[in-house]
Amino acid sequence: MSKAPHISNDPLYQLIRDEKIAEFNKLKTQGKSCDLTGCDFRGLDLRELDVKGLDLSNAYFRGTDLRSIDFRGCHLNGASFADAKISGCFFPEDISAQEIQLSLQQGIRIRQPS
């Protein structure tokens, strides 16, 4: 069973919480990393966030604006997308459209094969 979403003290996560997406992307490109598993992204505007290579397992995206994010190449197992805005998003091929729809409508956590 997944733990409740948490707010990390990690400086890179805090950039995301403050919606400083360009700054986060720049530091990520420079090789900085952070642990985003199980983090709370509820209600944030994360458009243009570069998630390639990130582990977003058990992340909580309720009501988050994720439009046009390319989730291919990141881990989403256990993530919840309840009421999120996902227009224009790409999702990994191993996650079915039905799985995504159930997460959006019912808040179920994504099951992504290993």
Tens of each residue's pLDDT in the chain, 114 residues: 457 899 999 999 999 999 999 999 999 999 999 999 999 999 999 999 999 999 999 999 999 999 999 999 999 999 999 999 999 999 999 999 999 999 999 999 999 987
Number of domains in the chain: 1
Return d(Cα 36, Cα 41) in angstroms, integer.
10
For the beta carbon of residue 31, count every other beta carbon within 10 angstroms.
Answer: 6
The CATH number linked to 98 is: 2.160.20
Beta bridge partner(s), residue 85: 65
Query: Measured between alpha carbons, how far is residue 55 from residues 35, 68, 105 in Å?
Result: 7, 18, 23
Question: Domain span at residue 27?
Answer: 1-114
Q: pTM score, two decimals? A: 0.93
**What is residue 1's predicted lDDT score, i.e. its pLDDT?**
47
Is there a contact between 38 and 59 (Cβ–Cβ < 8 Å)?
yes
The conformational region for residue 72 under phi > 0 = left, psi -120 to 50 = alpha, else beta, is beta
